[in-house]
Structure 1
């Protein structure tokens, strides 16, 4: 599961079995956009690492600076991702300044 935001604190969640170690940056993630199309985001700096759970990166998607939160596969991954996405949507509905979710779903590779 993945979501990307143009502001700090919005999740990019994803299926990535290699998240049990701290990767070297920079690297790229590929987001499926449907019908044989994908977007590439560049993860430039690791901001936070919760081993075996998630990692948060400062990144670039085209000309936008983003924060990407990537969830590692674990028992509660889908539940945690859905809870964060739901919380962001509720805050936005209540008029609380909230980063826009640019992508939410599985990673392509």
Structure 2
């Protein structure tokens, strides 16, 4: 179990809690408490656990790239063509993840 205390402006604390919720499984989240004094800042406490990884999760883009190059070479492509095709596919996967992240940010606003 991981315990996290977030302190900051209320909107930043809420955004950070959402981001942490995407990375970890939040078990409990406290109400928002104002910081002491004349501060506009707030505190939120989280208890979280590491999410179990799906099968195949944790495989790096580099490992996927090397496996794809081997596969393409096995299909008869020359080394340079196989590497270029694998790089294009890796770039597409990265672009898709970035787009999904940006879409998630828009939805959370």
TM-score (norm 1): 0.26
Larger of the two Rg values belongs to structure: 2
| Bigger share in strand | 1
| Bigger share in helix | 2
TM-score (norm 2): 0.26
Higher RCO (CA 8 Å, separation ≥ 6 residues):
1
